[in-house]
Amino acid sequence: MTHFVFETTPRIVCEPGAAARLGELAAELGIGHALIVTDRGLVQAGVLDGALEGLQAAGVAVTLFTDVLADPPEASVLAAVEAARAAAVDGIIGLGGGSSMDTAKLVALLAGTPQALPEVYGIGLAKGPRLPLIQVPTTAGTGSEVTPIAIVTTPTQEKKGVVSPVLYPDVAVLDGALTVGLPARVSAMTGIDAMVHAIEAYTSRHKKNPLSDALAVKALELLYANIRKVIADGTDLAARSAMLQGSLLAGMAFANAPVAAVHALAYPLGGHYHVPHGLSNALVLAPVLAFNKPAAAALYAELAEVVFPGRVFAGIDEAAQAFIDAIAGLVAEMPFEQRLSELGVGEGDLGRLARDVMNIQRLLVNNPRELTEADVRVLYASVL
């Protein structure tokens, strides 16, 4: 029997229009004054309107922090913490993409504990206590609403993670209607990001377990079946809701069976070139899958059954290659850049990027196949 520990967010509310229930959910947690951590674009687009009405109706006071930045830098996170302290809030609501939710996690922690941000980088160093926390994703990508991880960009453009069970929110609220207005490009990037979470969780060398496997398989099934639908018609609420559920399940999977080389190669691209995280993952996904095939063929063959239900393959190798080809083909269809050179990366940058990747051992140790610095350079060069 496999021995494992599985943790996740204790309460998940998943239904169209659920954001309007934020007031009652906040009140149940004893929140009387909430800081909503979000970005200005969502406020201007009216995405918060239903949530704000629900909070007001429940008598919950609200302070808005709308200065969340992509790949949240330390300064942005600390500004949000100061806003929480200045307003003397007693609860935090993260509403937005992964950057908003990651920032919200750290605000809930740092506004309620004497710990400083540099002290909690790493695994298990954040101890709490923290303020009550509700997460409301507006993209189907990061799964941050069910992970104990927050990623921060340091002043040296290095990505650092805070990993601790204390960062699991109290409630995750999934409202597919909040994602209807997402542009196709954003839907594509975040959707592929969620698929990477499912694939890497299923093939992780460490902590892979029956629960994470089941969640990863269902996540991949939902995401692969619906990503083309939301690209073609962003108003398809059923497909939008399915993508959000797939992202959630993938998040639950990789929170317990951690991600690996795709993410390790993606992080320096975000840190140095501010490439959106989902796009970074998408660009290096197919090359890493091909590289890992000698070690992960059997697992890829199992995932081929999700992508090609009912299809009979001649053997493991054929099934694994069919899976890799299907994922590569899907990425090639997506409405975003397909080469690193389109994002300002040149051949002379590959050495620095490869060195940075080799410093992310917390992820590389989970990869099915070991990578050298030379391997990483070749992988980057293949999509230059």
Identify whether the C-beta of residue 229 lies closer than 8 Å to the C-beta of residue 239.
Answer: yes
pLDDT in tens, 307-351: 999 999 999 999 999 999 999 999 999 999 999 999 999 999 999
Q: Are residues 162 and 194 in the same domain?
A: no
For residue 160, what is the enclosing H or E element?
Answer: strand 159-163
Q: Which residues contact residue 15 at a Cβ distance below 8 angstroms, ignoring those fewer than 6 apart?
A: 174, 175
Q: How far is CA 215 from the centre of its chain?
A: 15
State pLDDT tens for residues 158-193.
888 899 999 999 999 999 999 998 899 999 999 999
Nearest alpha-carbon partner for 139 in 105, 98, 167: 98
User: Do residues 333 and 295 share a domain?
Assistant: yes
For 9-48, what is each residue's pLDDT tens digit?
999 999 989 999 999 999 999 999 999 999 999 999 899 9
User: What is the rounded CA–CA span in Å between residue 247 and residue 77?
Assistant: 24
CATH number at residue 144: 3.40.50.1970
In a domain, 2, yes or no: no
pLDDT band at residue 149 under the 50/70/90 scheme? very high
Whether residue 2 has pLDDT greater than 80: no
Is residue 5 one of the residues assigned to a domain? no
Q: Is residue 122 part of a domain?
A: yes
Are residues 91 and 67 part of one domain?
yes
- Provide the CATH number for the domain around residue 250: 1.20.1090.10
Instruction: Considering only residues 71 and 215, tell me which one the structure prediction assigns the higher pLDDT.
Output: 215
- Cα 277 to its chain centre, rounded Å, is 8
What lies within 8 Å, CB to CB, of 313 at 6+ separation is: 301, 304, 319, 322
Among 144, 179, 214, residue at a domain's last position: 179
- Element of type H or E holding 108: helix 98-110
Q: How many domains does the chain have?
A: 2
| This model's pTM is above 0.85 | yes
Question: Scanning the structure block, which residue is given the tokens 């460490």?
Answer: 206
Residue 1 maps to a domain = no
Question: Is 275 in the same domain as 316?
Answer: yes
Determine, yes or no, domain membership for 4. no
Residue where a domain terminates, one of 152, 179, 206: 179
pLDDT band, very low/low/confident/very high, at 1 (cuts 50, 70, 90)? low
pLDDT at 113: 83
| CA atoms in the 13 A half-sphere facing the CB of 349 | 14
- Percentage of the chain exceeding pLDDT 90: 90
Domain shared by 77 and 120, yes or no: yes
The distance of Cα 182 from the centroid of its chain, to the nearest Å, equals 16
Pairing of strands 11-14, 122-123: unpaired
Q: How far apart are CA 76 and CA 69, in angstroms?
A: 7
Using an 8 Å Cβ cutoff, are 233 and 180 in contact? no
50: in domain: yes
Boundary residue ending a domain (179, 200, 217): 179
Alpha-carbon torsion 171, 14, 334, 367, what sign?
positive
Pick the more confident residue, 21 or 71.
Answer: 21
Q: What is the mean pLDDT of the chain?
A: 95
Between the alpha carbon of residue 148 and those of residues 133, 164, 254, 382, the distances in Å are 12, 5, 10, 33
| Spatial distance between the Cα atoms of 192 and 140, rounded to a whole number of angstroms | 9
Strand order in the sheet with 149-153: 122-123, 159-163, 149-153
- Average pLDDT of the segment spanning 232-249: 96
- Judgement on whether residues 188 and 46 belong to the same structural domain of the protein: no
Q: Please indicate, yes or no, whether residues 195 and 242 belong to a single structural domain of this protein.
A: yes
Please say if the pLDDT value at position 272 is more than 90. Answer: no
Tell me, yes or no, whether 95 and 214 share the same domain. Answer: no
Q: Give the domain range for residue 192.
A: 184-381
In terms of domains, do 239 and 277 share one? yes
**283 assigned to some structural domain:** yes
Q: Are 49 and 158 members of one domain?
A: yes
214 in the same domain as 173: no
> Smallest Cα–Cα separation from 191: which of 103, 300, 277?
277
Residue 237 covered by a domain: yes
Mark whether 155 and 197 lie in a shared domain.
no
Query: Measuring CA to CA, how many Å separate 288 from each of 24, 74, 259?
Result: 45, 30, 12
Are 381 and 308 in contact by the 8 Å Cβ rule? The answer is: no
For 33, 143, 192, the CA distances from 132, given in Å and listed in that order, are 11, 19, 30
